[in-house]
């Protein structure tokens, strides 16, 4: 893939003429973006089709990452970077009077995910391709992505995300690869003409799954993998089954929105349908492709690995069994044996409410064949355990797939796969020791840890060109391919010139963010202030509230003593709350009202400012992260499985202020105690409270005039405009005993914040800490994480290595 600047300019102008009969000067940004997209696509199309052909001809084992969410964000610049023509195109456009950055803004963020889980899937896609690994994504092409967040009078309001309104340059509709998926009806087994028992479907609904493929480009390695997203259509042959337009519409809406509200029966059913829809389509298409290799199905595991990202795609298991048995006549035993070897599963949470369970009745009615297979999987599992552990019926009850009229998806995923992993050391240990302990006893060899990672290309090279340049000048460019080489930066920890350059890059990123804040909120902020950042979904366990209580403390301190020595702080929040999560929405409202109070108080005079940026998404993260000084990772220990913004912020030189939760533990190990600020309870202490059940939040309030003043502010009118929300928050802490131990950790958090303040005052030392964080962030590279998945779970290898071995 090579192209000179002049070739690029010619190609762009030529295509603009062909498509719009226009010159550059007449084209709108959208038109230019569309044309640029087609130039880029043409540029990688050969490599894309060659990758496919090579995989097919070589019969190399491939991994398929099944995820109900992918959150890639904007793709233009990342594709240009990976093709190695970012600078050429930028310069070519500049010659033509066009700014690449402005053009890149036209692209809608592809936000087909809620948060960490979906973003991780996209970092992984990037890394799989960049490591030269044969691996593809499989998911849903939602017509509407995650809602757009607006604040109206401080409240979150959700607007639809019409990301496809202007088309999607990157996708390719592959009509010829469509498959059908069946729902509902009656299914029974009957003897076929060949004497085999086969299921007969009566009255089932047939829907068509049409794939839209997006190229996933490896970083300057000519490898192009595929992200395949499925969209629903109604097959022509089925049109007569629909009695009205509304009836038809209900089915056409299956892939309309990401996670429809599941607070009512209708929503739950749609979600179950979505899960089966993309899983069935994906598995069918894998098998269809595999059959072209002319290999027997009982060695499928030597050619195919399927990864179940959280439990949403766990129906892969019964679906694979169905295809092998019903469509290819394989015996149960053989089909099970192959299925277990093909499948692997990642758990992303220990929060009980997020561990998926489906009512038996719902599953039976909507996915009757799946239910039959699950029932049989459960029956055989129970039989086996009864033989092995006759003395332990409780163990069987606790681990079986179907319990209390519910299908436990995590149990299904663990029992019928060969690998279960957590996403950080602490999380994986908790799975083994607590949450999935029974399963760990049954299948110890299946459990492993794969600490999450991030794609340095997006989160440093693209998001932070200023820092990237300093790194290039200081340690050379090898870190761009081998993030572990960032370690070389440690040699410069005493080099004032390098420290100054790093500080300069940070300052310029802070100025960029300050301008954005001014433009979008009208709030003027000073780049001299500490930029203290908490960006993640809004959830009680993540404890944005703890941050807010501390802000109020600072506010009252300054009101009482305007001369108090304290660095200026800008607190930045970015977070969406689930539409039906009222408590989280109340916290958003409270933060916005506290922001109003403080930002407009002349006594404070800008020494503290609070900004809640609307519509936090991948693009906004790219703007905030490079500008951050402090990274708030303050979840209750044990609750955050890993976190990944913690890694991105560290990579960009922010100092982590954290509890020992998730991957924070490994961040501390990587940078050492001196370069991170840790506070609060450990996960052991949290569990001790659970055992003893002796936490009394109100005691903390009763004993602390500081806390009394802060909490009372929520209900006594000090924070204006939050009558209901203030009461809800106040009650959650005192009446409902503070589920996430905010008050218990408050003092420790205040001290940790004071430490941050002191550290920042010594700018030289702060810069050294920041440097150490950048230098040690290489170990959180998603490339490394993917190589470990490849070697230890999927048993796939980089294409080049494989070709060499094959000769």
Q: Which residues are tagged catalytic?
A: 348, 536-537, 542, 644, 648
116 contacts ligand F58 (rule: CB under 6 A): yes
Question: What is the DSSP annotation of 648-698?
Answer: HHHHTTPEEEE-S-TTHHHHHHHH-GGGSEE-S--HHHHHHHHHHT---HH
Gap between the Cα atoms of 713 and 734, Å rounded: 14
Question: What is the DSSP annotation of 222-280?
Answer: S-EEEEEEEEEE--GGGGGG--SHHHHHHHHGGGTBSS---SSHHHHHHHHHHHHHHHH
- Token pair belonging to 505: 């890059």
Distances, alpha carbon 353 to alpha carbons 349, 350, 357, in Å: 9, 9, 9
Q: What are φ and ψ of residue 525, in 5° steps?
A: -125, 155
CA geometry: angle 756, 757, 760, nearest 5 deg: 80
Gap between the Cα atoms of 113 and 117, Å rounded: 8
Q: Toward ligand F58, which CB reaches closer, 258 or 588?
A: 258
Q: In angstroms, what is the minimal distance from the CB of 358 to ligand F58?
A: 14
- Token pair belonging to 197: 């028992």
Gap between the Cα atoms of 456 and 781, Å rounded: 7
- Token pair belonging to 57: 């001809």
Residues in contact with ligand F58, total (CB under 6 A)? 16
Residues 662-721 that bind ligand F58 (CB under 6 A): 662
Q: In angstroms, what is the minimal distance from the CB of 668 to ligand F58?
A: 16
Residues 410-429 that bind ligand F58 (CB under 6 A): 423
Gap between the Cα atoms of 730 and 712, Å rounded: 8
114 contacts ligand F58 (rule: CB under 6 A): yes
Q: Toward ligand F58, which CB reaches closer, 154 or 643?
A: 643
Q: In angstroms, what is the minimal distance from the CB of 141 to ligand F58?
A: 18
Q: In angstroms, what is the minimal distance from the CB of 480 to ligand F58?
A: 24
Gap between the Cα atoms of 573 and 405, Å rounded: 42
Q: Taking the alpha carbons of 290, 294, 297, 298 in that order, is the dihedral positive or negative?
A: negative
Gap between the Cα atoms of 676 and 669, Å rounded: 10
Distances, alpha carbon 218 to alpha carbons 481, 628, 718, in Å: 11, 29, 54
Question: Among 461-469, 638-646, 716-724, 778-786, which window interacts with ligand F58 (CB under 6 A)?
Answer: 638-646
Q: In angstroms, what is the minimal distance from the CB of 127 to ligand F58?
A: 14
117 contacts ligand F58 (rule: CB under 6 A): yes
Question: Among 16-24, 189-197, 346-354, 685-693, which window interacts with ligand F58 (CB under 6 A)?
Answer: 346-354
Residue from 221, 349, 456, 474 binding ligand F58 (CB under 6 A): 349
348 contacts ligand F58 (rule: CB under 6 A): yes
Question: Which string of x and - marks every residue 354-393 that binds ligand F58 (by CB under 6 A)?
Answer: x---------------------------------------
Gap between the Cα atoms of 328 and 291, Å rounded: 11
Question: Which string of x and - marks every residue 534-563 that binds ligand F58 (by CB under 6 A)?
Answer: ------------------------------
Q: Toward ligand F58, which CB reaches closer, 32 or 424?
A: 424
- Asked if residue 75 lies in contact with residue 317, where contact means CB atoms within 8 angstroms, the answer is no
Q: Toward ligand F58, which CB reaches closer, 667 or 771?
A: 667
Q: In angstroms, what is the minimal distance from the CB of 352 to ligand F58?
A: 12
SS3 593: helix
Q: Toward ligand F58, which CB reaches closer, 120 or 314?
A: 120
Residue from 115, 145, 218, 798 binding ligand F58 (CB under 6 A): 115
- Residue number of the CB closest to ligand F58 reads 116
Residues 639-658 that bind ligand F58 (CB under 6 A): 640-644
Q: Toward ligand F58, which CB reaches closer, 114 or 449?
A: 114
135 contacts ligand F58 (rule: CB under 6 A): no
Gap between the Cα atoms of 709 and 687, Å rounded: 30
Q: In angstroms, what is the minimal distance from the CB of 117 to ligand F58?
A: 3
Q: Toward ligand F58, which CB reaches closer, 408 or 609?
A: 408
Residues 438-477 that bind ligand F58 (CB under 6 A): 452
313 contacts ligand F58 (rule: CB under 6 A): no
Residues that bind ligand F58 (CB under 6 A): 114-117, 120, 348-349, 354, 423, 452, 640-644, 662
């Amino acid at each position: 893939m090579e192209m000179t600047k002049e070739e690029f300019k010619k190609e762009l102008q030529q295509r603009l003429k062909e498509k719009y009969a226009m010159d550059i000067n007449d084209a709108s940004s959208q038109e230019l973006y569309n044309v640029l997209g087609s130039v880029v696509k043409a540029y990688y199309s050969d490599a894309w089709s060659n990758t496919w052909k090579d995989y097919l001809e070589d019969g190399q084992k491939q991994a398929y990452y099944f995820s109900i969410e992918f959150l890639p964000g904007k793709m233009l610049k990342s594709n240009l970077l990976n093709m190695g023509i970012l600078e050429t195109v930028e310069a070519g456009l500049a010659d033509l009077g066009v700014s690449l950055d402005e053009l890149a803004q036209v692209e809608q963020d592809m936000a087909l995910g809620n948060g960490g889980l979906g973003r991780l899937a996209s970092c992984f896609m990037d890394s799989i391709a960049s490591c030269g690994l044969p691996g593809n994504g499989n998911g849903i092409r939602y017509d509407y992505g995650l809602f757009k967040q607006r604040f109206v009078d401080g409240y979150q309001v959700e607007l639809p995300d019409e990301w496809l309104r202007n088309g999607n340059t990157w996708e390719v509709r592959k009509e010829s690869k469509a498959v059908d998926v069946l729902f509902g009806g009656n299914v029974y087994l009957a003897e076929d003409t060949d004497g085999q028992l086969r299921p007969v479907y009566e009255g089932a609904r047939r829907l068509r799954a049409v794939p839209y493929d997006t190229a996933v480009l490896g970083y300057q390695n000519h490898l192009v993998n595929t992200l395949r997203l499925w969209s629903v259509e109604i097959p022509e042959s089925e049109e007569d089954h629909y009695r009205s337009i509304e009836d038809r519409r209900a089915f056409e809406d299956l892939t309309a929105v990401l996670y429809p509200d599941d607070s009512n029966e209708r929503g739950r059913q749609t979600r179950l349908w979505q899960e089966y829809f993309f899983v069935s389509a994906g598995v069918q298409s894998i098998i269809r492709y595999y059959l072209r290799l002319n290999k027997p199905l009982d060695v499928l595991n030597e050619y195919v690995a399927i990864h179940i990202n959280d439990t949403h795609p766990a129906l892969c298991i019964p679906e694979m069994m169905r295809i092998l048995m019903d469509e290819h006549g394989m015996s149960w035993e053989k089909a099970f044996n192959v299925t277990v070897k093909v499948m692997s599963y990642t758990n992303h949470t220990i929060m009980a409410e997020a561990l998926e369970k489906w009512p038996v009745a719902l599953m039976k009615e909507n996915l009757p064949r799946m239910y039959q297979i699950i029932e049989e999987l459960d029956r055989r599992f129970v039989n086996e355990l009864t033989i092995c552990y006759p003395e332990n019926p409780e163990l069987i009850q606790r681990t079986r797939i179907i319990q209390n009229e519910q299908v436990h998806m995590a149990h299904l995923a663990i029992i019928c796969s060969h690998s279960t992993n957590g996403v950080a050391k602490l999380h994986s240990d908790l799975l083994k020791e607590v949450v999935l302990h029974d399963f760990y006893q049954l299948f110890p060899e299946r459990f492993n840890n794969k600490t999450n990672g991030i794609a340095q290309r997006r989160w440093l090279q693209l998001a932070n060109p200023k820092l990237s340049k300093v790194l290039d000048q200081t340690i050379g460019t090898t870190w761009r391919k081998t993030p572990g080489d960032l370690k070389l930066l440690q040699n410069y920890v005493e080099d004032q010139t390098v420290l100054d350059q790093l500080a300069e890059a940070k300052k310029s990123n802070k100025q960029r963010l300050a301008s954005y804040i001014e433009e979008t909120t009208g709030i003027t902020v000073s780049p001299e202030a500490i930029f203290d950042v908490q960006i993640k979904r809004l959830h009680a366990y993540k404890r944005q509230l703890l941050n807010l209580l501390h802000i109020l403390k600072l506010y009252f301190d300054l009101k009482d003593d305007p001369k108090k020595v304290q660095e200026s702080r800008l607190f930045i929040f970015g977070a969406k709350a689930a539409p039906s999560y009222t408590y989280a929405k109340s916290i958003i409202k409270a933060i916005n009202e506290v922001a109003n109070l403080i930002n407009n108080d002349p006594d404070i005079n800008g020494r503290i400012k609070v900004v809640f940026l609307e519509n936090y998404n991948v693009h906004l993260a790219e703007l905030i992260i490079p500008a951050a000084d402090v990274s708030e990772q303050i979840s209750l220990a044990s609750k955050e499985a890993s976190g990944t913004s913690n890694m991105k912020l560290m990579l960009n030189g922010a100092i982590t202020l954290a509890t020992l939760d998730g991957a924070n533990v490994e961040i501390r190990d990587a940078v050492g105690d001196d370069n991170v600020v840790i506070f609060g309870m450990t996960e052991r202490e949290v569990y001790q409270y659970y055992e003893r059940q002796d936490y009394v939040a109100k005691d903390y309030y009763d004993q602390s005039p500081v806390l009394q003043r802060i909490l009372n502010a929520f209900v006594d009118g000090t924070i204006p405009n939050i009558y209901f929300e203030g009461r809800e928050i106040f009650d959650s802490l005192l009446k409902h005993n503070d589920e996430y131990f905010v008050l218990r950790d408050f003092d420790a958090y205040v001290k940790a914040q004071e430490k941050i303040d002191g550290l920042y005052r010594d700018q030289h030392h702060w810069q050294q800490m920041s440097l150490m964080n950048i230098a040690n962030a290489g170990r959180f590279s998603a490339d490394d994480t993917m190589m470990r998945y490849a070697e230890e779970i999927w048993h796939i290898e980089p294409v080049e290595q494989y070709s060499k071995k094959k000769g």
